[in-house]
Structure 1
Amino acid sequence: MVSERAADVTPFLAMDVLERANELDDVIHLEVGEPDFSPPDRVVETAVESVRAGNTNYTAARGKPALRRAIAAHYAREYGVDVDPGRVVVTPGSSPGLLLAMAALVDPGDEVVLTDPHYACYPNFVRTVGGRVETVPLRPADGFRPRVPAFERAMGADTRALLLNSPANPTGAVMDGDTLADLVALAADHDATPVVDEVYHGLSYDVAEHTVLEYTDDAVVLNGFSKRFAMTGWRLGWLIVPPDLVDAVNRLAQNLLICAPNFVQDAGVAALESPPERLDAIRETYRERRDLLVEAISEWGLDPGYTPQGAYYLLADVSDLPGDAFDVADLFLEEAGVAVTPGADFGEQAADYLRLSYATDADAIHEAVDRIDAVLATVER
């Protein structure tokens, strides 16, 4: 018999679309956030050297000291923030890190406030630990950026955490420093903890990125190597937690995760020490791809009225096309051979949208645009 907890977990539609798309021939994948770059060469070399050196045994649950120090140094270098390496907990990917954060903070019945649209899996993490989800609607007129008064209206006596994401999936919105500082203050007023997913940091375009740690130590930061360093399958992430949560999170990690892979942690040190110029070039490539899709979506008449400032996603408004977003996604997949994700995966406010990922090469994006052009030419509006 399936538990109620498992039965309440909704499918991850992007992965469902990927599975369907993989059963077809000649499909262009714009549905998943899978960078098409390779990790830095030194990262691969370090992993191989570490395996050959015999580093395949367990490590401490919170991670190898060298990696925790490298993560702390990253925050000093990038943001001018002093992080005690003792507050860093290394995880086998950022998703397990979010599970640890929710398990450490949320009791059954506690409320977690998050935006709508939001990353598809967030509500499932909250519900898995018995929490309740309260959402704050975001508007395309605001560029899908959070507004503090909307959060204030959503919070109450049972609010235990704010779950934030910047740069955001699926919108690409980036929070400015003033908004982040105000949300930190609002959380403190409600005795709630900000949990901030910063996994797309490093992938913003012409806007400043701010870590929540610039404004408080009483927050949980979630980050990892998958997006910035194109290390999705390496499964390596980290948490930075308030001092009073360190022991609890470490105990949870010992029991639920054991540890991140030993040799992959060594590769993580190499990634954090890689030259910044490489990321500059990758960021510019993503920007060019974004602009291709922004222009195409406008020409299709599907422009939601904003330009993503970060990550590698954007939303297309398909409310004027026949059927719902699921129907349009099916049309694009079956008739154009282009896989995209229905917006319902990301909350009620995204139900009339499709999410398109530009984590694929420009030639494929050009081909996808041509194919969708041809299909839309046959659709009556």
Structure 2
Amino acid sequence: MVSQRAADVTPFMAMDVLERANERDDVIHLEVGEPDFSPPDRVIETAVDSLRAGHTNYTAARGKPALRRAIATYYDRTYGVAVDPNRVVVTPGTSPGLFLAMAALVDSGDEVVLTDPHYACYPNFVRVADGEVTTVPLDASEGFQPRVDDFAAAVGPDTRALLLNSPANPTGAVMDGETLSGLVDVAADAGATPVVDEVYHGLSYDATEHTVLEYTDDAFVLDGFSKRFAMTGWRLGWVIVPPDYVEAVNRLAQNVLICAPNFVQDAGVAALETPADRLDEVRATYRERRDLLVDAVEDWGIDLGYTPQGAYYLLADVSDLPGDALDVADLFLEAGVAVTPGVDFGDEAAEYLRFSYATDADAIETAIDRIDDLLATVGR
């Protein structure tokens, strides 16, 4: 019999839509966050060189010292924050880092507070740790920015963690420093620990990014190489661990993860040494795509209510279109455009669709034309 823990894990609808879309011909994929860029050439060359050098054996569970030092240097260079490399645990992707954080923090019945909308998988990580989910609603008219007072009202004696994300999936919202600092204070007052997913850092357009480590060492920070370095299939990430949790997380990593791939870790060092101008070009490209899609949504008569500041998503309210958001997503798929229904991201997003602009502008323009034609047939 399947365990209740496994039964409580919900499907990841974006992947369901992808599977359905792949069964059709000529579909524009705006449903998944898969960058269409290639990794930097030096990253690929380093991985090949490492393989040829025979770096295919196990490493320490927490990762190779050179990569952990490079990650610590990244925080100093980018944010002026000193991170002890011993607090860095390298993981095979960012999601395993979140698993380690939840496993280290959450006991049965403990509460984790997160935003709504939120990344679809967050509640499932809490449930797998046998924790309870409490959500704080966000509003498009406020740019999907968290309110510190709402979090303060949501925490309680059972709150163990605040799970935050900036730049955010699915909204593209970026928290300012005052908000992030205020949420750190809320967590401290509640005896809780911030767990902050920063995997979209480096992909902000109209806002300054802040790491939670600017405000506290008592936080888990999740990040990785998938998004800004277009290394999704390489499965390489990291978690910065609060000092008191280092040994516990290392033990968990030893047992659950073993280690991230050896040669991929060498490639990670090369990625972190990539010249900044490459990422400038990536950001500029995403900004152009965002503006193209934002203009199109407004032309469809949909009041977006905000402009995404980072990542490569926007969340659009389609409640004025025929049917519910699931029906609209099905209509779009019939027209050859795959998008993700907002119900994947929480109750507050149930009437929304998430559009990803992690694909080239020509494809986005084709998708816009198809939706234009579709909406003309339903009277929009």
In structure 2, C-alpha distance between the alignment counterparts of 1:305 and 1:142, rounded to whole Å: 8
Give the letter for the 1:353 counterpart: Y
In structure 1, C-alpha distance between the alignment counterparts of 2:323 and 2:182, rounded to whole Å: 40
Structure 1 residue 141 displacement after superposition: 1.1
Give the letter for the 1:68 counterpart: R
Q: Deviations over 1:70-103 (max 9, x none)?
A: 0000000000000000000000000011000000
User: Which residue number in structure 2 is paired with residue 370 of structure 1?
Assistant: 369
What are the within-5 Å matches in structure 2 for residues 287-306 of structure 1? 287-306=287-306
User: Which residue number in structure 1 is paired with residue 359 of structure 2?
Assistant: 360
In structure 2, C-alpha distance between the alignment counterparts of 1:340 and 1:248, rounded to whole Å: 40
Q: Deviations over 1:103-158 (max 9, x none)?
A: 00000000000000000000000000100000000001110010101101111000
In structure 1, C-alpha distance between the alignment counterparts of 2:122 and 2:261, rounded to whole Å: 25
What are the within-5 Å matches in structure 2 for residues 176-215 of structure 1? 176-215=176-215
The percent identity for this pair of structures is: 81
Report whether the alignment pairs 1:114 with 2:114.
Answer: yes
User: Which residue number in structure 2 is paired with residue 162 of structure 1?
Assistant: 162
What are the within-5 Å matches in structure 2 for residues 91-170 of structure 1? 91-170=91-170
In structure 1, C-alpha distance between the alignment counterparts of 2:188 and 2:354, rounded to whole Å: 33
In structure 1, C-alpha distance between the alignment counterparts of 2:291 and 2:14, rounded to whole Å: 23
Give the letter for the 2:364 counterpart: I
Indicate the SS of the match to 1:112: strand
Q: Deviations over 1:40-76 (max 9, x none)?
A: 0000000000000000000000000000000000000
Give the letter for the 2:375 counterpart: L
User: Which residue number in structure 2 is paired with residue 246 of structure 1?
Assistant: 246
What are the within-5 Å matches in structure 2 for residues 247-286 of structure 1? 247-286=247-286
In structure 2, C-alpha distance between the alignment counterparts of 1:376 and 1:247, rounded to whole Å: 56
Q: Deviations over 1:255-294 (max 9, x none)?
A: 0000000000000000000101000000000000000000
In structure 2, C-alpha distance between the alignment counterparts of 1:253 and 1:73, rounded to whole Å: 23
In structure 2, C-alpha distance between the alignment counterparts of 1:266 and 1:126, rounded to whole Å: 32
Structure 1 residue 206 displacement after superposition: 2.3
In structure 2, C-alpha distance between the alignment counterparts of 1:295 and 1:47, rounded to whole Å: 40
Structure 1 residue 168 displacement after superposition: 0.1
Q: Deviations over 1:212-260 (max 9, x none)?
A: 0000000000000000100000000000011110000000000000000
Give the letter for the 1:367 counterpart: T
In structure 2, C-alpha distance between the alignment counterparts of 1:134 and 1:250, rounded to whole Å: 28
What are the within-5 Å matches in structure 2 for residues 319-358 of structure 1? 319-334=319-334, 336-358=335-357
Give the letter for the 1:202 counterpart: G
Give the letter for the 1:287 counterpart: R
Structure 1 residue 380 displacement after superposition: 3.7
**Runs of 5+ in structure 1 lacking a partner?**
none
**Runs of 5+ in structure 2 lacking a partner?**
none
In structure 2, C-alpha distance between the alignment counterparts of 1:70 and 1:35, rounded to whole Å: 23
Give the letter for the 2:373 counterpart: A
Show structure 1 runs of 4+ deviating over 4 A.
Answer: none
In structure 2, C-alpha distance between the alignment counterparts of 1:195 and 1:137, rounded to whole Å: 18
In structure 2, C-alpha distance between the alignment counterparts of 1:303 and 1:20, rounded to whole Å: 28
In structure 2, C-alpha distance between the alignment counterparts of 1:246 and 1:129, rounded to whole Å: 19
Structure 1 residue 303 displacement after superposition: 2.3
User: Which residue number in structure 2 is paired with residue 32 of structure 1?
Assistant: 32
In structure 1, C-alpha distance between the alignment counterparts of 2:93 and 2:302, rounded to whole Å: 34
In structure 2, C-alpha distance between the alignment counterparts of 1:307 and 1:45, rounded to whole Å: 37
Indicate the SS of the match to 2:369: helix
Q: Which range moved further: 297-306 or 43-52?
A: 297-306
State the number of aligned residues: 380
Give the letter for the 2:105 counterpart: L
Indicate the SS of the match to 2:89: strand
Structure 1 residue 17 displacement after superposition: 0.2
Indicate the SS of the match to 1:61: coil
Indicate the SS of the match to 2:182: helix
| TM-score for the superposition, normalised by structure 2 | 0.99
Indicate the SS of the match to 2:377: coil
In structure 2, C-alpha distance between the alignment counterparts of 1:156 and 1:352, rounded to whole Å: 29
Give the letter for the 2:169 counterpart: N
| TM-score for the superposition, normalised by structure 1 | 0.99
In structure 1, C-alpha distance between the alignment counterparts of 2:224 and 2:7, rounded to whole Å: 29
In structure 1, C-alpha distance between the alignment counterparts of 2:137 and 2:226, rounded to whole Å: 28
Indicate the SS of the match to 1:144: coil
Q: Deviations over 1:159-200 (max 9, x none)?
A: 000000000000000000000001101100000000000000
In structure 1, C-alpha distance between the alignment counterparts of 2:8 and 2:198, rounded to whole Å: 27
